[in-house]
Amino acid sequence: MSSRYFVLPPERHPRAFDVVGTKVAVLASQGTTNGYGLTLQWGEEGMGPPAHRHDWDEAFYVLDGAVEFVCDGHTYVCTPGTLVHVPAGTAHGFHYCAGGGRMLEFTGQGTRAAEMFADVDRSVPPGPPDVPLLLSVLARNGVIVA
């Protein structure tokens, strides 16, 4: 199966999902590209996912602000221009530092990230999350909180 080229100007970006305080706009899903996913993510200070793992590679490119990443227990404060590569199965998490931040997320072959983001947005109401519900939604999308 092959994919067609597309051009997605900013005014045509899709509505951002609310993923427990992080906004996520899916710019390209694996279903669209037949190979990778790409999202634009942003959040306020302190927002971001706890340590988790999944079966697809992922990379983040910090655009604005600072983002603190934890990968396999090692902590890095990442500023604009920093690339973070996370191989499949690696425990990782992040949170936005003072002033919030914005970054691109690239996901590799076999990604279910776009579906997971949509499912969390649809299933978990805004506000403090119902943790058992959130863990269930993540698990059914191949994401295990570490």
pLDDT in tens, 63-120: 999 999 999 999 999 999 999 999 999 999 999 999 999 999 999 999 999 999 999 9
Cα-based distances in Å from 78 to 59, 83, 93, 134: 13, 8, 13, 27
Cα-based distances in Å from 87 to 44, 55, 90: 26, 9, 6
Q: Which CATH class is domain 11-145?
A: mainly beta
8 A C-beta contact, residue 19 and residue 52: no
Domain limits, the chain: 11-145
